[in-house]
Structure 1
Amino acid sequence: MSEKKQIKQKSAFREWIDSVVFAVVAATLIRFFFFEAYTIPTPSMESSLMVGDFLFVSKLHYGVRTPKTPLQVPLTHQKIWGTDIPSYLRWLDLPIKRLPGFSDVKQGDAVVFNVPNYSPDGDAPVDLRTYYIKRCIGTPGKTLEIRDTQVYIDGKPMENPPKLQHEYILKVKEQLTEEFFEEHNIYNGIDATGQSNANWMEVNLTAQDSLIGGLHDYIVNTYQGNIDEFKKMKSFVSVDLLKAAKNTPDGQDGMTNDDGATPMFGSSYIWNRDNYGPLLIPSKGLTIKLDSGNVDKYKYIIKYYEDNKNVVIDGHRIMIDGKTITSYTFKQDYYFMMGDNRHHSADSRYWGFVPSDHIVGKAVFIWMSLDPNKNFLSKIRWNRIFRFVN
């Protein structure tokens, strides 16, 4: 008489554990190979992308990037949730490679990347540094210049994003309400974390009563479509673009970015946020001569991003292993990134080029948008849900 083996039934707890493990593994694989969720925390891309937008970022477009730090708690970034404990170990430090993708990074793409070394978490591994999202303005091998707020690539004006923002002084004959500004997507200084940003608040929603004629002056950060609407108002008087003068360092005429920083190369070339360059963007295999006229443009690339050892910067000299170099061949591509909110964006103008191994993916889809300025019942921006990113 043969005995039939009894198949042991899994307990409810074991089935729950298996389900959780499967979900974590599946989510980790999807996040690594396909898409990752991202939230817009700052106004640097307004009005194209708003604070409180939730995005899907495609890893497939530019190719999946292999991890530099594989020993990491799944579904974390730098810290274990709710703690200050690092979520990774540095026991394995691998070279970053990239699998084939659908396309290269193109001019005009909204790109998510790990912010370069200047940031407070600059000591973190490249793949675990803070995420930023900006628009790619300059691609490898191109020459970028900003003249009077307009970007030029290889001497030709770049087509601006439809909702490119600048600062303006709006002068009207009536006092405008906060609801008026909300209708035009101009908000006071509340970011996605609920924290007030005093600088942004002063810029976007400040009324200055004029002593002459009872006029009202508003400093607004907005795009051309809104400016055209303002000009149709019965109370409209004038609107003027606030811009930095050429050959004037940021700050001398009151024009700075939010944290008062000066442009990356401004101390050497007297560039500012609205007048910048010309600047050649490095590409892999490109060889340049190094002299007093351009060392400041490329010294940090050579020291921090090219995996060179024993680099010493001494004024206008760069030494590798004790030898002064007079030319250099770049080992990877670089990009120039800028926010669409041009007067309120910390970007490549302030911290330099973005190396190709810092690129995470392309922002493709807004799946949810929550207005941090509204209460619970009216928080969802229904008109922004399920929209592709332009």
Structure 2
Amino acid sequence: MSLQVILGNFALILFVLMVVTGAIWFLDVFYLAKQRRATADRALAEFDARNNKLTADGIKIDHNSSRGAIEAALLRQPTWIEYSGSFFPVIALVFFLRSFLYEPFKIPSSSMVPTLLVGDLILVNKFTYGIRLPVINKKIIAINDPQRGDVMVFKYPKDLSQDYIKRVVGVPGDKITYENKRLTVNGKPVEYTALDDYLDDEHLVYNKQYRENLSGVAHKILNNEQAASLNLGDVKTFPHSENCSYKYEGFTCVVPAGNYFMMGDNRDNSADSRYWGFVPDQNIVGKAFFVWMNLGNLRRIGGIH
């Protein structure tokens, strides 16, 4: 595993922090605290013996406050142990929640416009597609498989340190054809309904907007009439590329077992499976289902369709 992948893997960093703080907490509870208690008991016994002798010699002193101060000082946790013990349960809880339940992500690009906008803060369900071991992302319990139309987060096959988000267009065994900016799945053309043009605030241009019905999942997509259906020069080599045939007007791919074909809703502004290939099951992170915040537009809060 490269240093770049390690630094980009927040789950791994969180796991290491949890292990380190947990080990320190465990060591303190079951060993160091007992050592401090034994040291304090010896010191207090010596303190009591000395004061008892002074009392026997007729010297009256009030040593209760001094005794308490000595005991507190000897039992006090070192700062590094105190902080580790405080952070461990918090880190462990966060690690559990984001590893097995829900993980937050921020949308960095416009490839999923109009479904998701730049700056959307989304939640991803980590258990919809099965329970996976943290860090290594190995599935140990199968629950559901991704379905056509799902918005899914996954590890980019060309760089596992990057998380991508696209829509599932093809599942294992599907024959996907994309020609003249229209999808055909297993020989059946996907239904499209024309909508009002969409204003691209970033480039101040209008794009054609359609409602695409993909296996019963209706969602909006964008097309730029000035762009080609496919930029052949951007197509990279990828595993199972022999399952695909390309031409200027588009392509046809048969999705291999254990893989998925992903596309962005902003069809002419998305680097997706058309260019870098299929997404293996082991790369899956989870299903995006909710926009929980967009600091620039609070009306964005809600479910993802």
Q: Report the TM range for the smaller structure's normalisation.
A: 0.5 to 0.7
* Matched residue, 1:187: 201
Query: What SS is found at the alignment partner of 1:25?
Result: helix
Q: Deviations over 1:268-311 (max 9, x none)?
A: 94434x6211x21111xxxxxxxxxxxxxxxxxxxxxxxxxxxx
* Matched residue, 1:223: 209
The normalised TM-score by structure 2 is: 0.62
CA deviation after TM superposition for structure 1 residue 22, in Å? 1.0
CA deviation after TM superposition for structure 1 residue 111, in Å? 0.4
CA deviation after TM superposition for structure 1 residue 382, in Å? 1.4
* Contact kept in structure 2, 1:62 and 1:100, CA below 8 Å: no
Structure 2 residues not aligned, in runs of 5+: 1-40, 42-67, 212-222
1:269/1:281 CA distance change after superposition, 3 Å: closer
* Contact kept in structure 1, 2:122 and 2:292, CA below 8 Å: yes
Matches within 5 A, 1:198-347: 204-205=203-204, 219-224=205-210, 241-244=225-228, 250=231, 261-262=234-235, 269-272=245-248, 275-277=250-252, 279-283=253-257, 333-347=258-272
1:17/1:269 CA distance change after superposition, 3 Å: closer
The structure with the greater share of residues assigned to helix is: 2
* Matched residue, 1:49: 116
* Matched residue, 1:348: 273
Structure 1 residues not aligned, in runs of 5+: 70-95, 122-127, 169-183, 189-203, 206-218, 226-238, 252-259, 284-332, 371-379
Identity of aligned residues (%): 34
The normalised TM-score by structure 1 is: 0.49
Matches within 5 A, 1:79-94: none
CA deviation after TM superposition for structure 1 residue 244, in Å? 2.9
Separation in structure 2 between the aligned mates of residue 240 and residue 355 of structure 1, nearest angstrom: 29
* Contact kept in structure 2, 1:60 and 1:101, CA below 8 Å: no
* Matched residue, 1:60: 127
1:355/1:130 CA distance change after superposition, 3 Å: same
Is 1:359 the equivalent of 2:274?
no
Query: What SS is found at the alignment partner of 1:108?
Result: coil
Structure 2 counterpart of 1:382, from 298, 301, 304:
298
Separation in structure 2 between the aligned mates of residue 240 and residue 221 of structure 1, nearest angstrom: 5
Q: Which has the larger radius of gyration?
A: 2
* Matched residue, 2:14: none
Which structure is higher in RCO with an 8 Å CA cutoff and minimum separation 6? Answer: 1
Separation in structure 1 between the aligned mates of residue 268 and residue 261 of structure 2, nearest angstrom: 16
* Contact kept in structure 2, 1:161 and 1:340, CA below 8 Å: no
CA deviation after TM superposition for structure 1 residue 63, in Å? 1.0
1:160/1:48 CA distance change after superposition, 3 Å: farther
Is 1:147 the equivalent of 2:179?
yes
Query: What SS is found at the alignment partner of 1:134?
Result: strand
Separation in structure 1 between the aligned mates of residue 280 and residue 256 of structure 2, nearest angstrom: 9
CA deviation after TM superposition for structure 1 residue 161, in Å? 9.8
Is 1:32 the equivalent of 2:8?
no
Matches within 5 A, 1:90-105: 97-105=138-146
Separation in structure 2 between the aligned mates of residue 57 and residue 240 of structure 1, nearest angstrom: 29
* Matched residue, 1:130: 162
Query: What SS is found at the alignment partner of 1:27?
Result: helix
Q: Deviations over 1:176-234 (max 9, x none)?
A: xxxxxxxx65222xxxxxxxxxxxxxxx32xxxxxxxxxxxxx4335248xxxxxxxxx
Query: What SS is found at the alignment partner of 1:43?
Result: coil
* Contact kept in structure 1, 2:199 and 2:206, CA below 8 Å: no
Task: Please give the root-mean-square deviation of Cα atoms over the aligned residues, in Å.
Answer: 3.4
When the two structures are aligned, how many residues end up with a matched partner? Answer: 219
Q: Deviations over 1:312-338 (max 9, x none)?
A: xxxxxxxxxxxxxxxxxxxxx110000
* Matched residue, 1:307: none
Query: What SS is found at the alignment partner of 1:145?
Result: strand
* Contact kept in structure 2, 1:108 and 1:161, CA below 8 Å: no
Separation in structure 2 between the aligned mates of residue 67 and residue 271 of structure 1, nearest angstrom: 40
